[in-house]
């Protein structure tokens, strides 16, 4: 049975619904094995006040963003988690080596590294979410610069807010591309948890039970 990160790597390779040949699956398996030994994943995050004004004006800490898509994602949020994560320079070195010696392996490794980073960020978000549960908060899906109309230039703001260069070795190029390359920054909205559906369902059950008992008494 294909595990989640292998499925994600296959998606990055562009197979879609097409069957993956055994040779490619073997390369994926070997690539993840090398990444397990090579990756030095690091992350940093901070929680800031968040405000959405109108349809596209977003303020997170001192960062002002004009983005309709981000505004929609964060609507109703009073706080936002700002985070950065990287697999480290060792992964870049590994990918560079294969790009010079084995192009097929290089392509697969790129896809596996992207899937590896995605899995790492998912785990990080779950961990943050568990911490916030104690405060009765839950997290929205993460949203990165470059998604929709969230300008990639805000990459610089996020790196400065988190001091990523010092804390996890994450910087960017003049064209706002992150380095190491297998890195990501993102915004995650945080909202107060509503009364859960179970509680509401329980109330409905109690009301129905009371109504049923009342009907039985009338019939008696």
- Quick: pLDDT tens for 70-93: 999 999 999 999 999 999 999 999
3-class secondary-structure state, position 84? strand
Residue 156 corresponds to which tokens in the numbers above? 């610089």
- Quick: pLDDT tens for 6-30: 999 999 999 876 788 899 999 999 9
Rounded Cα distance, 35 and 40, in Å:
9
* Domains annotated on the chain, with CATH: 4-219 (3.40.109.40)
Residue 107 has pLDDT above 90, yes or no: yes
Alpha carbon of residue 41 to chain centroid = 15
Mean pLDDT of 107-132: 96
Per-residue DSSP letter, 164: H
Pick from 188, 193, 155, 192: nearest CA to 46: 188
Element of type H or E holding 192: strand 183-192
Residue 144 corresponds to which tokens in the numbers above? 């990165």
Average pLDDT, the chain: 88
Rounded Cα distance, 4 and 7, in Å:
5
Question: Is the omega angle on the peptide bond into residue 152 within 30 degrees of 0, that is, cis?
Answer: no
Tell me how far CA of residue 202 lies from CA of 20, 42, 192, 195, 208, in angstroms: 47, 43, 21, 12, 10
């Amino acid at each position: 049975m294909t595990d989640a990160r292998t499925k994600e790597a296959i998606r990055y390779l562009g197979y879609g619904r097409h069957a993956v040949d055994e040779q490619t699956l073997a390369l994926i398996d070997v690539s993840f094995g090398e990444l397990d030994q090579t990756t030095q994943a690091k992350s940093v995050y901070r929680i800031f006040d968040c405000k959405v004004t109108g349809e596209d004006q977003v303020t997170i800490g001192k960062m002002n963003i004009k983005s309709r898509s981000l505004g929609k994602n964060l609507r109703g949020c009073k706080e936002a988690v700002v985070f950065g994560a990287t697999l480290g320079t060792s992964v870049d070195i590994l990918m560079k080596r294969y790009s010079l010696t084995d192009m097929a392996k290089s392509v697969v490794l790129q896809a596996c590294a992207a899937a590896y980073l995605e899995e790492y960020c998912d785990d990080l978000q779950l961990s943050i979410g568990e911490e916030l549960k104690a405060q009765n908060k839950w997290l929205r899906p993460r949203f990165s610069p470059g998604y929709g109309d969230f300008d990639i230039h805000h990459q610089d703001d996020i790196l400065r807010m988190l001091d990523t260069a010092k804390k996890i070795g994450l910087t960017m190029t003049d064209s706002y591309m992150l380095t190491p390359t297998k890195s990501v920054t993102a915004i995650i909205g945080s909202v107060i948890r509503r009364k859960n559906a179970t509680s509401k369902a329980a109330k409905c059950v109690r009301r129905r039970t009371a109504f049923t008992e009342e009907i039985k008494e009338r019939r008696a």
